Chains A and B, each alone.
Chain A
């Protein structure tokens, strides 16, 4: 009897201790500022400029999200997150969204108290080699010495790749990407393997960048994208659909410059996206012009990619998997209807 009463009392006190929390979306709107977790510094994705302002592909996603939710792309507070505390920071509400080149995996989505949204960048493990080697594809790498990192998935991926293709290789296991680069430049290994976006940056940092090439092969799947706290359905929708809106905008030919005129002159699909028809914004709990605000703040996906990673950036990363679905890539925004 006593135990029963005690447990009831404990249960009651726990319930009462839980504050009546508004949902994440309302909380952000009330606060008037979006708290976004970003990388500590990763070429093309998040780096400070000479004014100390964060710039990059992941950073601009946060700006777009702030524009969509709050109508102002500057209402973002960027928190740098290490790879150790990034997911916990979401769970403990230190940040609202994590836009930090974090791979979508089953374990993270299911177990860590966080939810995936939609892929923002398809990365994958690749190889960087010296041009002098005369190699044009990873299939020619048999017998090569490969610089890799200890105990990471990348080490396992390389092993799987060479084994399935019946090729031999010698692994040189090195801690840290700077050390790997030094070893590679000193000729201790023929190949460095890492995520391709990181390799492109490594290559750019070499004084003789043109003497090295990034092989086109991709040997692992690394879908990177924003994470949100688990159980925040409405907020997850907003985070996912903002990314989709930027992707759809590219597909429909809506750019930062022409978004305003397209809202009046575009086809019905474009009008629904930009909010001049339909009620998608309302359904998300946002203003009708939410997607237009995001596009006008940072540009469409293609503009963003070119600016930070692609043709207009020194990284000159090819679109590859990150091209639209009708151009051989994987970008496939769900229909806005």
Chain B
């Protein structure tokens, strides 16, 4: 196919393709020279290395001498080493290495810069003779850039040898009768023919293949290095892809076609040279500086020194790859923008990659971190620390999470390590993610302080104790160095310093007493609102002078409030900062509140204690009221203390009299208790209110004990009364204080509970964040493994399996599968899956179409090309088809991503998770980019596969199709997009008179009478996909025109790319002839119709002239006859006898009757001749008018008219009026003798009646009118039905026997004397009806009346 034609130098042979070998049979030495001299001469002229193998038959000397004489400038060729003589003996080589000499010569040809090698062997022993094999095995030549001619001695060959020898060569030359002839074996002929056809076929494939193809010969410099190459052949795609025209480059050197290519960094010449000279094929992708494009190139060498290149333009793909790189960079940026510190660490604890956050923490640039031992830089240790989670991950291959405090990383960290694996599943390192959780830790600590101190505060005994313990802790937590606690001192009206820290004692003594409104604390105490002083050194404020002197830079003071009263202040100050955060201030307030509560509690307790003290002293001062009674509880002795207290007289207290001093409400109650105690001899104790001598009631506690005699009997009761008023009040106060305290504790507890909840939420948030980190880690790991797989795997199916496996094993998804859409059924078929242990996919049917089974995640991704995330399978309505099965398999959420090849979505990748709401935006983004990577990889594989297949197709020209096409009688042609013929069959050759070789490559439209129409035809195929029965006329070379109908359609390669048009022609010569015949007959018919019409028109005109003259000329004589007859009667009356007068009367009557006849005739003819205007006509109204006119003619007659309402028709109103007038006046006339005459006009609907004009068989008369027998048939459509009009009378009727005579002009069924008339009425009606396209018929019976039916 890659023909590089060389001149043979022998006119009989013409050009020879490279690789040709032929032989000739000689009888004399001159015979050899006769062939070899011109053969070698041509070779020398064509820059070929010419080698003549000399022998006994042709010696070197003689040959050189002859050549010298025949070849001009032979010396020059010889000097350049272009012609060599080789003795035949040197050509025989040992068995097994027959080609050594040939290869050596080929190498010489190439390194010498020659186009090819030309061999002339003057003697070669015939193979059958059993000698050593010749070096130039005929068949081997065909594979290389060489031509070979062999000379055989004719008389050594018998017939069989001859045939055998001929068979081995392309052809042989034999001299017969002094003239050389070519003989060729039939096999060789057939083979060559087949070869030619397949070459042509391949040629068309080449020109239609989408990839560029070019065939070249390499050129080498003196040192044998490739320095240039020559274009030998290129295809159409080459032109398209490079923008170079084939005719411009073919035969040209690349350095001329693309100047500067030798400097292109891609080193095209060097690369191709290697292929051409080594024979090793090469594949690469390179950018061409000259053409400014990226190409994917596949180069191979069909024969040494030559190379063929197939290539495709991948500039767009490269652009896409750049996009991919950009998106990678974007990913990197994302990686860098994650606030968490991420480091990829290998097995040797060396950092392989870090993100920006990590690098910044380490104080390095990201690239500087690579290769550093992590422990050294992260922990500052010489080896991995004991807690190192990375070490653990390396050991067990699992994820590990660890909390640690590391100042180098900025405080408290939550660290996770996720393993990364290599292809063999071995752990190669981990993704190490650290999140700073210092803030969280602080929050925890704060909460702990608060809850701890709350308990202590509530149990503290002394104000100082409270504050000291609490504030030191708080101070350190807040990073403060100073605190002051002042308490209000009610007695002095000042504040006194209760507790402090951070200032020397002597300084503290100076502020032991502080006035309200002095300094910050004094102002806070006075106003009851907190004060926060920030940036104290930079602010001039008299209140902060003292603080400033102690180097305090920020200071916050909160009032201690108890029930709205300021009981003191609590303030904190720092020397290291100039401000506080809101959180710190909030904490201070909380502490102040707690302290206030605790202080209040202590103050209350102190107040209580003071009350008790007072009571004690009161008792001491006042003494107790002692009392005694007898055994029965009666007061019998004086009770001076009682009397003194109550003011009662001695008499008054005797017996139960004492009780009268009690509060009246308490008397009965007290006495009851007293009596009961006395009765039971049990100790007595009660409280009551006792009236003092001044009338004031005070609370008393009364206690008493019986004093027993030795015998056990009661001697007396002794008791005491104690004033407990103060205690009571204190108790009440205490109760109130407790209640208040309880309430505030509850409030505080609620606040703490709130704080705890917040804390819990924070902790939960922290866990969520951690989980997110794990998941992202897993995905990073998946991403890295999939990218490794993409690089390593070249088979889509294997890649799909790997992807699923990685998703499940590394991504820890429950299951993953890849479905590919069947392009016909749209069913998404499982192409790969992993983790489907429960057989979920077996029961699942998914379609990539808008059907219920196509609206789930996979279907949506595969049909719409967008990812679909189902966050909750259980509640997603679109999952209804798969829900039960999915839940049974533990799938709670899923995500599907489209897989593409180019723009086409070919399927989807779906993964399942055991958790709902599993997929976050970040993950979806990562997974999408992952699937895009896979899609791109699969597309690349598909491209690669297509290229291999195209090459395969090239090798396998389909002989079957070829023969099928060849046997077709219809001319078949394939056309490419530019309208060039790419292939034809034999029928085409026949119809055009041109050979295949002539046809191919020429314009399809050239072979037609109307080239423009032909062009429009195939362009329509390109636009619309096909044409049917497109008429064209093929012009044969011999001038014959063949009319054909073309059916043509597009044909595509397997990817659907349009290759060209396949056009089949059908010879319609015969059909055309028949059509012509019909057309001719039609034309004749047309002509005859025109002629006939003209004749008829002439006849009509004549008739018109005739009637005109009749109306004038025929009547005039009649008038004379009548007039003068009358004149005779009048003027000669006396001379005529009666008979004469009678005769004259008859003459007059005759002439008048004739005049009437003439008039009627004219009228009748006028109906036929008059013009017609069709329009809607109300027949009922016309009939009514006729009836009215008839009544006026004979007002005395009694006639009943029954005219149906609303009858209308389409027609000429004047003519229809005339028709009705005639019909109804006939009826009027023939009912003249009936005293109860009735005339009806109406319609009936009847089935359409064909042909019959009179007496239709399906109409019958009856009481209700005439009915169609088929009226009831529901299958009749309106088109089958027609309206039949009728005029019926009950007159004299007629005999149906004569019904066929009715309607003929002047035909009468009654005598004129019986009923006057000319017999013209019905004839007139019939003409009118028939002019409307209708029919007319009658029914009647003598004496019963008549009915005239008509249709319009």
> A and B from one assembly?
no
Query: B residues engaging A (CB < 8 A)?
Result: none
